[in-house]
Amino acid sequence: MSNWLLWLLAAVIVILTLLVAVKVRNFKRQVKIDNSAAAYQVHGIDISHHQPSIDWDKVCAVRLHGEPISFVFAKCSEGRSKTDETYRRNKKAAHQHKIKFGAYHFFVPGIPAHEQAQNFIRHADLCEGDLVPVLDVEVMGRLGRQQLIEDVLQWLKIVGKHYDCMPILYTGISFRNRYLNDERISHYPFWKAHYQSKQMVTGKSWTFCQYTHRGHVDGIKDGKYNYVDLNVFRGTPEDLEALTISRKSN
């Protein structure tokens, strides 16, 4: 065998060895994620226009760590006037399939909080028995920390008054600690996004935990990788029921 063939064979062996090592490392990481999430009884997903194709019969048959999908949060609105084109059909389907339903608003810094709150209220149309509203805060834009805090609080108060409840704040754990670490905000239920850490679903300072944004659920397609966010709730089904809207909004 010529030298160049030997070099080629050696290169192929090295590449295959590296690929196997990466797969093993990713598998071990996923095992840590699974073991962490498996400790919880109540599992759910959150969805938006990024998951344009959903077969809800298949979703209802799925078991995450042996448990059914008990809740779903769907994107409703964004900023001053944007809405998610899949929201109404997702809401209708979740109700028809008896999955606990909730809605979230994606916060856009720099747009008055009261206008964003009214956008959500106009389109969410949440019912008695639905989960309380969620505010998704992921970026600061050009706002300073204190102004961001005041705007977030204003949205939470307006929407909370409308539905007579305590809305949920969703954000990344590091973003919250750096920009939204305020005692007034800490009174609201916290839904944290925390990925790729064996500590991600531990602790007592959260209500929901989004532990991966690359989950797979039979029946959900995103047109590319078929990813969907997976979540756990820190509590029992009875505790989840306590986080629902108890009366019709005004």
Query: How many Cβ atoms from other residues are within 10 Å of residue 182's Cβ?
Result: 16
CA distance 28 to 11: 26
138 is catalytic: yes
Domain annotation covers residue 16: yes
**Same domain, yes or no, for 90 and 61?**
yes
**Same domain, yes or no, for 79 and 30?**
no
Q: Which domain holds residue 53?
A: 41-241
Domain annotation covers residue 247: no
Domain annotation covers residue 33: yes
Question: Which of the four pLDDT bands, split at 50, 70 and 90, describes residue 54?
Answer: very high
Domain annotation covers residue 112: yes
Domain CATH number, residue 131: 3.20.20.80
Domain annotation covers residue 250: no
**Same domain, yes or no, for 10 and 131?**
no
pLDDT digits (tens, 9 = 90+) for 189-202: 999 998 855 555 55
Point out the catalytic residue in the list 78, 138, 150, 241.
138
pLDDT digits (tens, 9 = 90+) for 7-25: 666 555 656 555 544 443 4
Residue 165: per-residue pLDDT: 97
pLDDT above 90 covers a percentage of the chain that reads 75
Domain annotation covers residue 84: yes
Domain annotation covers residue 246: no
- Beta strand ranges found along 23-138 (DSSP E): 42-47, 53-54, 63-64, 67-78, 82-83, 100-106, 134-136
**R_g over Cα of the chain:** 21
Overall domain count for the chain:
2
**Same domain, yes or no, for 59 and 16?**
no
